[in-house]
Structure 1
């Protein structure tokens, strides 16, 4: 009885493995277009905006009130009006603030993270104060940014810097600390000096974690943009979004939110692709 059940169990295991694995050929499906990732992603956008439009049209008000939420068609109208004016003034101001803040956070976050992760003495000296500052939200830094910096522009860049710095710092520290001890011992047994071990083993081993921190940091910089541009300004997507809220002009609020989300997603994608090119040994398992 047990012997006769083994072939059946093996066949069932083989079928489940083929359907679950990202690498083995998948069984044929009734809807071939579903295998196309671009189609699935496009469909997700249609469903998102379609459900949103329906909820606004029927004035859905069960736990969440959509009565006063702008519909996608209203947001589209606000977007057309925005791009018919002078959109690059706002887009350029926001992009520059995010890029400068993110660039400074990358330099300082990666440098400090590597030193803290590699040298225990440096960790003991600087990590605890940084860990105390890390949970402070970006909006809480606004009064101090006003006091610390002579110009509002510098204060806004500082807020985007804060948003990116701590994810990059922590990811770098964890990446360096997570270096395989066996690889370190192999390098030392082969006569490698400390600098060679650091350059050839520690940094390449920490790169995936650093890359994750950079992608998250870029997203956080955009996340903090509205907070940063509350400080001052006449220009910027975050400032425009906040001004629309103050004047109760609701469609541009949602347009600004979606524009920040789109630019943040594109920026994170560019960072991710650039870092992936530096790590050719990484194999994607997305099917």
Structure 2
């Protein structure tokens, strides 16, 4: 799952109530560094250390067909880094993906804001689409029940890297005075307080999931791994020139569920789970329309 699927929420909340007539771009990203932590199981590897970092950046062009509907063209990059010196499964530390997607958004239907995106992500080191590509599709809709209460529904689909998955998007958001409550799984579960138009402190639940295919010459030839962590974080959002956002945050990966790494063979054989000790993390994210 992409780090910043929150962009759907950010984009819809910022622009869905605006009548846009000109083409525009959105540049966005998220960078996270997780504190070095130890393997807790299996016992044979207990005490070995891992250092994980990840990032996600994209540039999206919006071509306005009408003041209600736009075509979207997106290029992006995802990076996953794991520093584990004694890793028995693979030697590679940096995994880079290039992403291309197309789609549209519309608010043509009364009280609805709808977005659809589909495209391909592929490993920059291995241009072999059979093993090293992933199709992604997003359908997302937001219904304005009234001006302070909204309903969110949709689907996130991933096909490739040995893991074929579909996640529902479901939830609500509402505001009361200066308080904004977002309860939208899995994109945006957060409590925000608007001190003033430019500073917004918040607490947030973050789901971090990354899957990659392993190189052919690795000990687990053409196998796959999946990293999972859930973080609880606090941050500050700085709103710049009304729409652009810069978030700075810190969190902890073990307050709800401990992080873990799953590694398996080419066809899902010899699967091993590695439990990782919980640790702190920090990061920044940005959202810049122009």
- TM class by shorter chain equals under 0.3
Which structure shows the bigger proportion of residues in helix conformation? 1
Task: Name the structure, 1 or 2, with higher relative contact order (CA <8 Å, separation 6+).
Answer: 1
- Name the one with the larger strand percent: 2
Give TM-score, length-normalised by structure 1.
Answer: 0.27
TM-score normalised per structure 2: 0.27
